[in-house]
Each structure stands twice: as C-alpha cells, then as structure tokens.
Amino acid sequence: MTTAMGAALRRIQLGNALSAFGNGFTVPFLFVYVSQVRGLGASMAGFVMMTFAVSALTVLPFVGRVIDRRGPLPVAVAGTVAAAVGSLALGLASVWPLVLAAAAALGAGIAVVQPSLATMIVWCSTTSTRSRAFAMQFFLNNLGLGVGGLLGGQLVDTSDPGSFVRLFAIESVMFLVLGAMVATVRLPRAPKVEDKVPSGPTPQSGWRALVGDRAMVQLCVLGFVMFFACYGQFESGLAAFAVEVTRISPAMLGIALAANTMAIVVAQFVVLKLVERRRRSRVIALVGLIWAVAWVAAGLSGLIPGAPALATTLLISTYALFGIGESMLSPTMAPLVADLAPARLVGQYNSAFALVKQLALAVGPAAGGLMAGAGAYSAYIVLLVVCALGISVLALRLGRLLTAEQDNPVRAHARRVAAAGAAAEVPAARSVQEQGERAPVAV
C-alpha cells in the first residue's frame, strides 16, 4: 500500500466508526420510541422495521451500477445526506405517515452508504491487505455501536420525547461527519488491480456477469443462509426464545447482547492472526460448526428450568459464540466478494451481496417471529442447527470453485514474492559466475 492509500483508508475507517457510534444512540431504543414514546403502538413499530428493509431492497439493485459508473465517493456522500435527513426527521415526527417516510429515507441512505464504503475500502487496499482492512471496519463498527448504546442509555427518558430528539440529532450529525470525511478522501482513479485475483474472462454487463459467475452465486446463497441463521434472529426468534423458554429477564438479555459485542471487540485481531493465512472456505465452514454449537447451547438452556444460573450461562455463551464466528467472517466474506469481482464491477458485486444480506435480514426476523408466535421453539432450534451445518457444507462446496489466490490470497501472495525473489537470484548468480570466468588470473 502507498502512503496516500493508507491515509485515505484511515479516514474512511474513522468516519465509519463515528457513524456507528451515532447509530448506537438510536438502534437499541427505536422500537420503544415508536411504540411507546410516540404512542403509535407495537404494530406501527413493526411497520417501521419493515420499512427499513423495504427501502433498502428498493435502492440496492441500482446502487452498484451507479458506484461503478460514478465512483463510490459521490454515492457515499449522497447516502450520508439522505440518512442524516431521515434520522433527524424520525426524531421530530409524531404521526405515522411522517414516521414511515423518515424511516424510508434513513433505510435507503444506510443501504447506499454500505456498499459505497465497502468499494472505497477495496480501492484503498490490496489483495494481501484487504482482510485486515475489513476486520478493522467490523471492529470499529461494533465498538462504536457498543459505546453509543451505553451513552444513549444514559440520555434516554421514555417520559420525555425531547430526549429521543437529542439521540436522533446526534445520529444525524454523525452521518454528516461521515459524509464530510468521505468527501475529503483522495481515492485512486481506479481500483488497485496490479495484484488483482483473476476471475475469468471480462464480463459484458453487470447483473448478467454476476449471475454467470458460479462462485459469486454460491457465495450469495451462502451469505443468505448465514445472515438468516445469525443476524436475522438476534432481535426476533432468539430474543423470544431467551425470554419465553429460558426465562431470563430483559436486563439479562441486554447482558447477553453485550457479551456478543465484547466477544467481537476482544477476539477480532486475535482471530485475524489465526485465519488470515488459512483457506477462506474452511474458515467459513468452521464458523458454521461454531454456530451449530451455539444453537445447541441455546436449546439446552431451555431444557433445564431448575438451574437458572446454568441456563443463563448457556444462553450468554450462545451470544458470545456468535460473536466469535462474526469476528472470523469479517476478514473473510467481504474481501472474498471483492476478489471475485472484476475490476470494473466491484460496486455491482458489493451491492448484490448487500442486497442478499437485506433479504435475509427481512426474512429471518419474520420467520423467527412466526415460529416464536406459534410456540414451535423445538422446531426453531432444529431449523437453525441445520442452517448452521448447511453453512459448513456450502462453504466447502464453494472452496472447489475458488482459485488458490481467491481462497488464500495472503499465502498465494507470499508464494509469488518468494518465487520472484528466487527468479531474481538465478541471473545474479550467473552474472557473478561469468565475471569470475572472465577475470584475469594473476601470475
């Protein structure tokens, strides 16, 4: 990496961390704000959550093409402005049409920002440094969310709507700070492709090339199962299981969520050193096994009602195991999407993977909520154990479609450097030998 690329990447990461810090002020309290503080009821709060997903699904199919044509920087700035306007409007809105309109603007803005930032990180990194860059982004996101949530909890007051206006105003300002920092970044004119991982012949069109890329299609299927079985269950099925079956208190559920964040923050860079030289497909397969153990632990926590301390420990362990798995995926999944993408379609591939994530995050809570509402908790746990094991199977199958450079770029880069050094030593040795042969012999 050049000095300019490193400086640009640091500015992007700092802005992203501040934006996550702002999100932490509002995300944990959004449901309570809509349903209780504004008095719109739980059903409207559910509609607001659905609006986030629908607005994201509406804009994401078009974002990738715009990123590849106009560059990620102007798209990211536009997304931050939309998100800032939506956040502030959500804090000021008191009737349901304005609340839904503000939620749509906020959801669309965030959906635009995510693939744009991912593309900027790709442009400012190389194949061998990309895993560490995305791991740092994930670490800062979780740290910012955690710190913001802690501070927001100290400021919030359900009897005072003005306290929520302050929270949404802070989030809005943080989005504008992200936009200002991104706008001052000096990006390279084109992605860093000197050591680009080969990905087959040059495609002719965006979506057609993506659908024709077997490895990318299988990665999207894997991503859908992954987000469905983990992220899509935190706020729906798993939370309902914890309260209704394991019988833990809402306060203890908050501790379990904190354990998830703490596991990510503590383990991220330790895990990075362990996985960055391993094959990506096998790392993802191992995550599937870890999550299967996590779901088994959650199921066991509901089978021992006579030992509440043990049941609570098992459930907190479930959230912590999910955090460890997430820390293994952050330096693996996003860099793999970037390395599969042709140089001129990086934005399209990032946008497509973000679209898959949003679909899973829309379907996952709905499925978890329906099964929890029907009381089918045993079937729910079995389904998610099967999904976790399916992640391992899909990851190993994906490994067969990847080249050595795509599956393990750090080791492949080291081999190329070693081979280049060995090739340079051979002519040098020959030159020394020839000079010795031509040297005059002293009498």
pLDDT in tens, 259-268: 888 888 888 8
Give the separation between CA 216 and CA 235, rounded to whole angstroms: 29
Q: Is the pLDDT of residue 413 over 90?
A: no
Average pLDDT value for residue range 212-219: 91
Torsion on CA atoms 37, 106, 261, 379, rounded to nearest 10: 80
pLDDT at site 296: 94
**pLDDT surpassing 70 at residue 316:** yes
Measured CA distances, 14 to 20, 133, 165, 172, 177 (Å): 10, 12, 25, 16, 10
Q: Which of 230-239, 387-396, 397-406 has the lowest mean pLDDT?
A: 230-239
For residue 8, pLDDT over 80 is answered with: yes
* Nearest one of 280, 272, 392 to 335, comparing CA atoms: 280
- What whole-number distance in Å separates Cα of residue 412 and Cα of residue 301? 43
Give the pLDDT confidence score for residue 87 in this predicted structure. 94
Residue 76: pLDDT over 90: yes
- C-alpha 271/C-alpha 411 separation (Å) is 17
Q: Select, from the ranges 12-16, 86-90, 209-213, 265-269, the one with the highest average predicted confidence (pLDDT).
A: 86-90
Q: Which of 6, 228, 310, 283 is nearest to 129 (CA)?
A: 6
- Residues near 397 by Cβ (< 8 Å), separated by ≥ 6? 218
The total of other beta-carbon atoms located within 10 Å of residue 20's CB is: 23
CB environment 270-301: b (16+ within 10 A), e (fewer): ebbeebbebbbbbbbbbbbebbbebbbbbbbb
Res. 204: pLDDT tops 70:
no
Predicted confidence (pLDDT) at residue 192 exceeds the cutoff of 80: no
Residues in the chain: 443
Which pLDDT score is estimated for 172? Answer: 94
Read off the tokens for 352: 């497509």
Please say if the pLDDT value at position 195 is more than 50: no
- The CA dihedral of 82, 84, 87, 92, to the nearest 10 degrees, is -110
Q: What residue type is 187 in one-letter code?
A: L
Tally Cβ neighbours within 10 Å of residue 320.
22
Q: Alpha-carbon distance 376 to 241, whole Å? A: 10
pLDDT at residue 81 is higher than 70: yes
Q: What is the mean predicted confidence (pLDDT) over 271-283?
A: 87
pLDDT band at 423 (very low <50, low <70, confident <90, very high): low
pLDDT, residue 234, reads 75
Pick the more confident residue, 329 or 415. Answer: 329
E strands present in 155-282: none
To the nearest whole percent, how much of the chain has pLDDT over 90?
A: 30
pLDDT for 299 beyond 50: yes
Q: How much is the pLDDT for 375?
A: 82
Long-range contacts for 268-274 (Cβ within 8 Å, ≥24 apart)? 268/135, 268/138, 268/139, 268/327, 268/330, 269/135, 269/139, 271/324, 271/327, 271/328, 271/331, 272/131, 272/132, 272/135, 272/327, 272/331
Average pLDDT of the residues in 128-142? 87
The pLDDT value given to residue 201: 44
**For residue 27, is pLDDT > 50?**
yes
Extended strands (E) in 17-123: none
Buried b (16+ CB within 10 A) or exposed e, 183-222: eebebeeebbeeebbebeeebeebeebbeebebbebbbeb
Round to whole Å and give the CA distance between 216 and 231: 21
What is the rounded average pLDDT of the residues 382-392? Answer: 94
How buried is residue 54: exposed, middle or buried, by Cβ count under 10 Å (0-12/13-18/19+)? middle
* SS (HEC) of 136-175: HHHHHHHHHHHHHHHHHHHHCCCCCHHHHHHHHHHHHHHH
Task: Return the minimum-mean-pLDDT range out of 156-170, 227-241, 301-315, 327-341.
Answer: 227-241
Q: Could you tell me if 257 and 319 are in contact, meaning their C-beta atoms sit under 8 angstroms apart?
A: yes
State both tokens at 47.
């509609």
* Distance between CA atoms of residues 75 and 117, nearest Å: 9
Q: What is the mean pLDDT of residues 280-288?
A: 94
Whole-number percent of the chain with pLDDT over 70: 86
Asked whether the predicted pLDDT for residue 372 surpasses 90, the reply is no
Computed over every residue of the chain, the mean pLDDT equals 83
